Amino acid sequence: MPRQRSLTPSLIAAAALRVGDRDGSKAMTMRHIASELGYDPMALYRYFPDRQSLLDAVADLALADVPDPDPESSWDDRLSTILTGIRSAALAHPGIAGHVASRPPLRGNGQRLGMAMMAALRDAGLPAADVVRAAQTLVAYVAAALAMAVQAGERDDRWQQVAGTIGELRGDDAGADLPAVGSDDQFSYGLRLLLAGIRAEVGR
């Protein structure tokens, strides 16, 4: 690829995101990313001390398309918008989705969404200390759900085994309604449970 005129952190992160989208997470090495830009790999280390710090920047970039929730909407609608948006944005970039799951972004977009999440939790009526704990719980949930979506997300052989086992234990066909691990249905159901738990905690 022809060399870009000058490197910047944002240019490098964008190139890394392209590599991941096109070739997958294993291709997101300093060498491949540098080649995408037409530079020697050592040039990237002027801007990022190691591969992990670069992937942190890429993960944050992947969340750029997550919209800010409508400040006039209810606190639970805002949380749903944020968490669903994070999951959807990460899954749209399969090369970096696993990194988003293992290291939720702490840069600009991560901070933007984190602040919106805590604002919604405050509006729900949680005390200050519980706002932080609840936000941590929600981040852990979306990270775990995202990791499951990366690994599965469909009714595979393992789903068949689990569904069959549930049916045998219950003596019925309840397992047939089991959502696929990492699916949209599983994520939405779990999120509804968490939001119901927050409402119950506020009402204690």
Compute φ and ψ for 67, nearest 5 degrees: -75, 155
Question: What is the predicted pLDDT for the residue at 16?
Answer: 97
- Torsion angle, alpha carbons of 139, 85, 147, 134, to 10: 10
* C-alpha closest to that of 72 among 119, 132, 39, 141: 119
- Domain residue ranges in the chain: 9-49, 75-202
Distance CA 138, CA 155 (A): 25
Instruction: Give the pTM.
Output: 0.87
Least confidently predicted of 102-106, 116-120, 151-155, 182-186: 151-155
CATH of 75-202, one of 1.10.357.10, 1.10.3720.10, 2.60.40.10, 3.90.1650.10: 1.10.357.10
Select, from the ranges 36-45, 146-155, 165-174, the one with the highest average predicted confidence (pLDDT): 36-45
| CB 170 within 8 Å of CB 99 | no
> What's the token pair of residue 192?
């509804």
**Per-residue pLDDT tens digits for 130-140:** 999 999 999 99
CATH of 9-49, one of 1.10.1240, 1.10.3470, 1.10.10, 1.10.3720: 1.10.10
> What's the token pair of residue 69?
């929730």
Amino acid at 143: A
Question: What is the predicted pLDDT for the residue at 2?
Answer: 58
Token pair 């710090």 is found at 53
Question: What is the predicted pLDDT for the residue at 5?
Answer: 64
Average pLDDT score, the chain: 91
